[in-house]
């Protein structure tokens, strides 16, 4: 008796993980790819700043904080300040 032909062990292909941006547009000078983010793990501070106009923002880090999170906080803070005036 012959064995049944089995399927080859084809593994399902993994979807590539989408990478989040680490360089952003400055909300003040409106130039693309000028805002960079840096983390200070010792002090638990995340800093984001523009390399052209030197505008910046600092915030506390959590273990799950990514550069996009700091950028979004900065944009939210800018909008909050603009609404105040």
Residue 18 falls within a domain, yes or no?
no
**CATH number for the domain that contains residue 78:** 2.20.25.190
Q: What is the DSSP string of 1-68?
A: -PPPPPPP-PPPPPPPPPPPPSEE--TTT--TT-EEEEEETTTTEEEEEETTT--EEEEE--TT--HH
Taken as a whole, the chain contains a residue count of 85
Residue 47 falls within a domain, yes or no?
yes
What's the domain range around 41?
23-84
Residue 43 falls within a domain, yes or no?
yes
Residue 16 falls within a domain, yes or no?
no
Q: What is the pLDDT along the chain (85 residues), one digit of tens a residue?
A: 667 766 666 778 888 888 888 899 999 999 999 999 999 999 999 999 999 999 999 999 999 999 999 999 999 999 999 998 7
Residue 35 falls within a domain, yes or no?
yes
**Can you give the pLDDT at residue 84?**
82
Q: Among residues 42, 33, 28, which one has the least CA distance to residue 67?
A: 33
Residue 4 falls within a domain, yes or no?
no
Domain count, the chain: 1
């Amino acid at each position: 008796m012959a064995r049944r032909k089995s399927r080859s062990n084809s593994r399902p292909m993994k979807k590539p993980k989408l990478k989040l941006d680490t360089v952003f547009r400055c909300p003040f000078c409106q130039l693309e790819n000028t805002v960079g983010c840096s983390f200070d793990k010792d002090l638990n501070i995340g800093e984001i700043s523009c390399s052209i106009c030197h505008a910046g923002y600092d915030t506390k880090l959590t273990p799950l904080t990514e550069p996009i999170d700091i950028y979004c906080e900065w944009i939210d803070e800018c909008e909050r300040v603009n609404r105040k005036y």
